[in-house]
Amino acid sequence: MVIKNCILIPFLSVTCFGYMLSDLNFDRNVDFNDFAIFSNQWLLEEDPDEPNWIGSGTADYFVAASDSPDRVKVKADYVCDGIDDHVEIQAAIDALPDFGGKVQLSTGRFNIGRPINLYRPNVSRWFSVCLEGQHMQSTCIFLQNGSNCNMIENVNTGVSVSGWKVIRDLCLEGNKARNTSGSGYYSKRASITSGVCYDQCIQNVFINNVKEKGIHIEDGWHISIFNCWIEMCDGDGLYLLGNESRLSSLQISSNKGRGILLYGTNHHATNVILMRLGKAGFQAMTLYNSTISNLNIVDWGQVSPLQNALQIDASSHHNAFSNISVKGTATPSSSRGIAVYGDYNLLSNIIVEDTYYNPLYIPEGGDNNLISSSYFEEGASANNAIINNGANNKIVDCSGLGNEEIVTSGFPTLKHWGVTKLNSAAGAITAILPDGQYAGEIKTIVMTDASNPSTVSATHHETSDPQVAIFDDVDEIWVLIWTGMRWATLKATCDFLPLS
């Protein structure tokens, strides 16, 4: 605003002789009412040397932190005093109409002593709430000493569904050293008769240092979590029991629990980094018809031993896991790489390195899985090879030392897949090759030390039952393919016993 051609009359008004640029309320007088309008406009102007402390201006209610500038507090609908700031934030949420709206927080720190509640009971339609800060590094919600509670809650106590909750652009600091319980975001239905929690979005949120889980969601549908960091929690980083979630661009690290536990159907997770975790990296529990891709797991099992980087539980089936990198520390903490207890899962384009035990572990009951185009490096301990004790699993186009077994003496039963090296330095070997498990399975047998002539008998072969190969020279090989009913020879430089 420009004031010109004016004479100031003390205490009352300004009389303008020229164009009345200062008559901001258009009443043909320039007085204190116009100065009030001018002051209001001046407060709204952005200083190019300062950040936009006031926010987007599109919120229904604006809440200022106690440490925000005075010019921000003047514009706020609610101003916090730095103690129990949940009172002002909750008041702004409670002031929204029954169809919901947006509550925006200023930059600064909000100290809370009770959960911020996003649920409203007894409304005729979904109460949709957006709680928005300015940035994950500039708007911080801090849990006060001894509060011992969740920080943000969406607990459905009614019989109708609860939906459309958005949290974005802020930080949740859990102060776990001075609290005995509490998760960052906690959502579930209160009882089996309560409605489920639909359509929740957590975006651009940094969750740090909470006593329990970073994000704890049960009975949730249509969950979207994007571009979030979850660090230094004493529980799991993300614990999600629900259906149809979308997870993308997450970094979850230095938590004492699991990186992610995912349960339910039709989930999609991509571009996730899981690092320095106390327990398993990623656990698929009763997971069905979901896709997990672009997953990077580094260093897990730091708190509890015998953990798996990626664990697919027995009740998980018909899922696709692809483009996964697993790298341990070659110590007992990084126990196994991929553990598949479920069935009918597809795993492809996987690299597993520096585990302590098995890079790939499939026990009995893990059946009908397809593992392809992957590299499995053997673990650092003696129990370091691939274990495949399930039925009808197909391991195709995979490489790495984990695919090899070395036989030294006695009467062993060979693996029905991969490479077997015969080292007879300690004595003759009389081995049996069992039936394959799927059509197209390839088996390679090679003699690496021929100190003692040895034999391998294929129990069912297209030539004879059994077909017995004699290995008495270094580098002799026998390459076979399983047709679905019998073994067939693809290449052989060894000799065979006469047909019986």
pLDDT digits (tens, 9 = 90+) for 12-40: 444 443 334 455 445 556 665 655 555 55
Residue 142: DSSP 8-state:
E
CA distance 323 to 338: 13
pLDDT of res. 59: 75
Q: Which domains are present in the chain? A: 6-44 (no CATH), 56-191+205-214+222-234 (no CATH), 235-399 (2.160.20.10), 418-496 (2.60.120.1230)
Contact 226, 200 (CB under 8 A): no
pLDDT at position 395? 84
Q: Are 276 and 254 in contact (CB under 8 A)?
A: yes
Predicted confidence (pLDDT) per residue in 85-141, tens digit: 999 999 999 999 988 999 999 999 999 999 999 998 877 557 899 999 999 999 999
What was the pLDDT predicted at 267? 97
At residue 215, the pLDDT reads 98
Beta strands in 289-427 (DSSP E): 291-298, 308-312, 320-327, 336-340, 346-353, 360-362, 370-372, 375-376, 387-388, 394-396, 404-407, 418-423
Rounded Cα gap, residues 38 and 434, in angstroms: 90
* pTM of this structure: 0.75
492's enclosing H/E stretch is strand 487-492
Sign of CA pseudo-dihedral 183, 184, 190, 196: negative
Give the pLDDT of residue 127.
Answer: 84
Instruction: Give me the pLDDT at residue 14, please.
Output: 43
Whether the CB-CB separation of 458 and 500 falls below 8 Å is answered with: no
> Phi, psi at residue 403, to the nearest 5°?
-85, -5
The pLDDT profile of the chain, 500 residues, written as one tens digit per residue, is 444 444 443 444 444 433 344 554 455 566 656 555 555 544 444 444 444 444 445 679 999 999 999 999 999 999 999 999 999 999 999 999 988 999 999 999 999 999 999 998 877 557 899 999 999 999 999 999 999 999 999 998 887 777 889 999 999 999 999 999 999 999 998 888 788 888 999 999 999 999 999 999 999 999 999 999 999 999 999 999 999 999 999 999 999 999 999 999 999 999 999 999 999 999 999 999 999 999 999 999 988 878 999 999 999 999 999 999 999 987 776 688 999 999 999 999 999 998 988 899 999 999 999 999 898 887 777 566 678 888 888 888 777 655 677 899 899 999 887 789 999 999 999 999 999 876 777 888 999 999 999 999 998 999 999 999 999 999 999 999 988 899 999 999 999 998 55
